[in-house]
Amino acid sequence: MSKVTPLSGFPEFLPSDRIVELQFLDTIRETFELHGFASVETRAVEPVERLSNQGEDADKEIYGVRRLAAEAGEDTSLGLHFDLTVPFARYVLEHGGKLAFPFRRYQIQKVWRGERPQEGRYREFTQADIDVVDSGELPNHYEVELPLVIAEALRKLPVPEFVVKVNNRKIPEGFYRGLGLDDVATVLRIVDKIDKIGPEKVIERLVESGATDKQARLAVQLADISSPDTSFVEQVRALGVEHPTLDEGLEQLSQVMAAAAEHAPGLLLADLRIARGLDYYTGAVYEIYLVGQESFGSVGGGGRYDALASDGKTTYPGVGISIGVSRLVHRLVSQGLLKGTRSTPTAVLVALNAEEDRAEAMRTAARLRARGIPVEVAPAAAKFGKQIKFADRRGIPFVLFSTENGPEIKDIRSGDQQPVDPAVWTPPAADVRPGIETLQENS
């Protein structure tokens, strides 16, 4: 038998950590549904042509899909989706005649990116997205609503303090055009690397791309501006650059920040360094960071896109934001902050005195399950001490015994053992299902 070798970038959880991930997914899903978002699931593959040319080196990261036994001339132009926004835009175009607009959707699925694996960077991971799309026009108030929904979901979870950094793509675009830099996409991609390579290297690369030293330094100065309120407008104006698109972006971001200050003070930080590498964003852009762990990178993000979903006749502008569930959970688990309270859903182990008792034990288990209690029967008859150790290793809190005096339930954590009627007994609510144990104080 060949040796099993792990594949880097394709993380797999142990059962107790998977419980943490499932709790996150359940909470996120329930929160999205509380806000009226409907669930959709799209296929894993899209035409490579649709996936490519989206910026952020997307072309290099797409996994191509083909049959190993593909014949000559067989179509091999499919790729695994690298995010959920591009396939969702296709979904809207394909099913637009059957959807009611504005359409509110959430989507929780795997995505694949062929990038170099490192901490927090995976080749396969789960994202949880919400988007609102409309036909023709999309009001700006959705750009405020979506980060508030995401924040509500995260605040229900044992997540450290976080901040949603927000910008508007029209601000750097208008600023660069006001400087005379018309290759906006190139400037954005260079400036977007400022955290990785530093401002001086960014200036150097901007000059290499055709900017003057003054233009490059002003672009970096713009990226240095941030504020928890609308004061960023005065800071931008002080740089002395004017352009109608810049004016529009400043106004739109001011509306977002003013509304956030009313509904969720301190949640949003206007940060003009945020650009998002994907080219389809046209308005608000978001990045979610854990406070004090910014060097880890964002654990979510998104933005507004006005032309991604268009069939030439009708355009469906949208705005969306996602949580990188795998990235976030792996970070918290690997830091020793969280773990599952047990490695199995089972709350009760029905013990066996002898193998002949299995049929009755299975009937007892069925009665408990009928009342929503997760139960399993011991794998084999053995001394009670051995069966208790089996339950303890798996984190099962209760063992149900048949004794001379009738059924008894033992809480193996406290050692307490009492007579019980399996037809009516129910464990404490906190023990029915596994939960998340916080191992350190999140701050």
Q: Which residues does the annotation place in the binding site for L-histidine?
A: 83-85, 113, 127, 131, 276, 280-281
- Across 308-397, the runs of DSSP E, i.e. the strands, are 318-324, 338-340, 348-350, 375-377
Encode 363-397: b = buried (16+ Cβ within 10 Å), e = exposed.
ebbeebeeeebbbbbbeebeeeeebbebbeeebbb
C-alpha dihedral sign at 181, 183, 187, 188: positive
| Distances, alpha carbon 39 to alpha carbons 129, 152, 291, 295, 384, in Å | 10, 18, 30, 33, 47
CA dihedral 336, 337, 340, 342 (to 10 degrees): 60
Paired residues of 108 in beta bridges: 128
Q: 302, 129 in Cβ contact below 8 A?
A: yes
Neighbouring CB atoms inside 10 A of 297's CB total: 19
Neighbouring CB atoms inside 10 A of 306's CB total: 17
What is the arrangement of strands in the sheet containing 78-80, beginning at the earlier edge strand? 45-47, 78-80, 64-65
Query: In this structure, which amino acid lies at residue 22?
Result: L
* Residue bearing tokens 């899909």: 65
In the annotated binding site, the residues are 83-85, 113, 127, 131, 276, 280-281
Return d(Cα 346, Cα 388) in angstroms, integer. 14
What is the DSSP track for 269-324? Answer: EEETT---SBTT--SEEEEEEETT-GGG--SEEEEEESSSSB-SS-B--EEEEEEE
Closest listed residue to residue 134, CA positions, set 121, 125, 143: 143
Burial group, residue 234, by CB count within 10 angstroms (0-12, 13-18, 19+):
exposed
DSSP 157: S
| Distances, alpha carbon 299 to alpha carbons 37, 125, 268, in Å | 21, 12, 15
- Tokens for 232, please give them: 């960023």
* Residue bearing tokens 């233009």: 215
Collapsing DSSP to helix, strand or coil, 140 comes out as coil
